[in-house]
Structure 1
Amino acid sequence: MTSTEQSTENPHRNKLSVVVPVFNEEAGIADCIDRLLAQGDAIDEVLIVDNNSTDRTASIIKRYAGSHEKVRYIFEPRQGVVHARNAGFDASSCELVGRIDADTRVQTGWATAISEFLGPNSTHCAVAGVTYLFESPFSRVHRFVLDRQIRRGKFNHDRRVLAATGANMAVKRSAWLEVRKNLSERTDIHEDMDLSICLQKIGLTIGQCDSMRVETSGRRGETPPREYSKYNRASESVLRLHNVMNWRFKFLIRLDTVVHALAWPIYRAYNFEQERFEFRRLFGKSQGRIMPVNQ
C-alpha cells in the first residue's frame, strides 16, 4: 500500500508525530529516520531531539531536516532523556505522539497501526507495541516466543498493560497535556514508567497492539552487570516515587538483574556484526548501550 493510498483510505485519521530522543547516535540515526520516512503519509512529523550529542549525530539530523519537510531538529541542552522526551512531546503539533529510541527499527505498517488503535472509538489513551530484538544472540528465540504469544491472542486489543516502553509507544496528545504537570523530571528514574503510572493515576488506560511492531537493539545485554543494576534501580526508584512498589515488582526487578548477569558472558562472546560467537571477545572491552538514567 502506498502512502497516497493510506491517506485516501482514512482522510479523517488523527495526525501523528514521532519523537526520537538521541544522544551520540551517529551510527544508527540515519537508518532510524529512513524507516520512519518509509511509513509515508501515516506520519506527519518526525521530531529528533538532540540531547547534547558530541559526535556527528546533530549534523546527520540537520541534513535530513534540510531535505525532508516533516523532519525537525530540536536541541535540548538539559542532559537526560526525560528532558529530551519532554521537549519533543511539547513541540508536537499532532493529535497523536509516537515515541521510539534511536536504535528502534519501525516495521511496515507501524504508524498506521497507531492511528487505527488510537482512533475515535478507542477507550485507551496510549498504546504499547510488540518489540523484537536484533543484535542479540537470543533474537530468534525471543521472536519465536513473542510470535507464539501473538498467535494465542495474548496481545489482543482489549488487553491493558501497566506500562508502555519508550522504544515503542504512542499517546494521545490530549492525555499528555493532562498529565504533563504531574511528571517527574528526575533523571534517575525511567521516564516512560513515570508517564505510564501518571496516566493511570488519573484513570486513563494503556492498551497493547500486536500489529504495532518494531525491532530494537539487544546490545544492552553486553552492558556489565554492575552498570545494568543501576538501570534496574531506576525501576525501583520510580515505583517508590509513586508508592506502588511491592514484593512482586521487587522480585521481578531483582530476577531481571540476575538473568542479565547470567546472560552477560554470552553477549560478551557474541560478534554482533557477523552474528557468531568468538571466544576471544570475552577478553575485549565491554561496550553495551548507554544507560538512559543517571544514578
Structure 2
Amino acid sequence: MGVQLSVVVPVYNEKEYLSECLESLLEQGDDISEIVVVDNNSTDGTAEIIKEFERRSPKIRYLVETRQGVVFARNLGFNSVQGELIGRVDADTRVLPGWAREIHDLFTDREFDAVTGFSLFYESPFASAQRNAVAKQDNLGNLGGLKDAPSLTGSNMAIRKSAWLSVQGSVSDRKDFHEDVDLSYCLLGNGMKIVQNLAMRAEVSGRRGETGPIEFLSYNKASIATLKHHGAMNRRLRFMIFRSSILHTVLWPAYRMYDKNTDAMSVKRLFFRPAARQMPVEA
C-alpha cells in the first residue's frame, strides 16, 4: 500500500461532534490506514460513539488516556500509531474530500517534516461571508499551493512519524501551553520545515467564538507562555495576540446571538444561553 497515514483524534466530551468527524475521515477511503481516537475521560457518551465506530470499521482504534489534558491524549495517540505519517484533527473537524490524498502527495514529493491545512468555519455567524471570500480567491487562483507556516494548527495538520520521534522528548506537557504551538517550535528548533498546504481543506466549528472575552484572555496568555518558553516572543507576535483578543471581544456578541440550529441571530440569546465550552488550556 506504500506509505501509511494514521490520523489521531483526541476527544473529551465530544458527543455532539465526533460522529461527523469520524465519518469524514472514513470517507477518505484507503488514503487513511487507521484512525486512533483517544478518549480523555469523557462522561457524556463519547466513549459509546467511539465503540460503535470501532465495531463498524477495522480502521478505528479506541484508546483511553486518564491523565487529563489534550497534550497527554495527543502524545498517547502519536506514540501508538502504526503509520509513517501522522494526521491530527480535533473532534469538531470535518475533513473535506481529498484531504488525506493531499497529505500523501506532499510528503511523497517534497522534503517537509510537518504541514498544516486550511480550514473554513461552520457554526459561525460569519461562515457564509468567509466561504464567499474564499470562493472568490479560489476563482482568482490565489489560494493554491504551499506557503511557509510559523506554526501547526492542531485541528488540521500532519507530521512525519520520524519528526515526532525526534522531538517527543523535548515537547512540554504543561497544560497552560498550546500543545500544537509548542510542538511546532520544537520542530523548528531542530531545523525542521513546516508549511501550509492551502489545498488540504477542512471545516471546523466556530464554537470557540462563544468563549467570553475574559476567558479568551487566559487562552491568549497560553500563547504568550508557550512563545516565551521557546524564546520566540517579540513585539510583532505580542501585537498579533493583543489584536486577536480585541477582535474576539468585538465579535463575541455576534457569536452569543447566533443560533447554529437555525443559522439566525437573536438578541435574546445574548442574555439567555448556556455557557460556552471550556477552552483546552488551563489558566
| TM-score using structure 2 length | 0.96
In structure 1, how many angstroms separate the alpha carbons of the residues matched to 2:135 and 2:211?
A: 27
Which of these residues, 193, 205, 211, is aligned with residue 217 of structure 1?
A: 205
Match of 2:163 in 1: 175
**Cα offsets for 1:257-279 (capped at 9, x unmatched):** 01101111111111111000111
Deviation at 1:95, TM superposition (A): 0.5
Which of these residues, 236, 245, 255, is aligned with residue 224 of structure 2?
A: 236
* SS class of match (1:159): strand
Which of these residues, 96, 118, 121, is aligned with residue 130 of structure 1?
A: 118
Match of 2:187 in 1: 199
Match of 1:7 in 2: none
Deviation at 1:153, TM superposition (A): 5.8
Match of 1:94 in 2: 83
Residues 149/251 of structure 1: CA separation in 2 closer, same or farther (3 Å cut): farther
| Aligned amino acid, residue 203 of structure 1 | G
**Cα offsets for 1:159-180 (capped at 9, x unmatched):** 2101110000000000000111
* SS class of match (2:53): helix
Which of these residues, 85, 106, 122, is aligned with residue 117 of structure 1?
A: 106
Q: Are 2:178 and 1:190 equivalent residues in the alignment?
A: yes
- Aligned pair count reads 283
Deviation at 1:51, TM superposition (A): 0.3
Residues 212/274 of structure 1: CA separation in 2 closer, same or farther (3 Å cut): same
**Cα offsets for 1:33-58 (capped at 9, x unmatched):** 11111111110000000001111001
Residues 147/231 of structure 1: CA separation in 2 closer, same or farther (3 Å cut): farther
Q: Are 2:16 and 1:27 equivalent residues in the alignment?
A: yes
In structure 2, how many angstroms separate the alpha carbons of the residues matched to 1:113 and 1:71?
A: 21
Which of these residues, 20, 26, 48, is aligned with residue 37 of structure 2?
A: 48
**Cα offsets for 1:229-257 (capped at 9, x unmatched):** 11111111100000110111111101100
Which of these residues, 44, 47, 54, is aligned with residue 58 of structure 1?
A: 47
In structure 1, how many angstroms separate the alpha carbons of the residues matched to 2:151 and 2:183?
A: 8
Residues 270/89 of structure 1: CA separation in 2 closer, same or farther (3 Å cut): same
Greater Cα offset, 101-110 or 144-153: 144-153
| TM-score using structure 1 length | 0.92
CA RMSD of aligned residues (A): 1.4
In structure 2, how many angstroms separate the alpha carbons of the residues matched to 1:64 and 1:179?
A: 32
In structure 2, how many angstroms separate the alpha carbons of the residues matched to 1:272 and 1:176?
A: 37
Deviation at 1:146, TM superposition (A): 3.6
In structure 2, how many angstroms separate the alpha carbons of the residues matched to 1:154 and 1:236?
A: 31
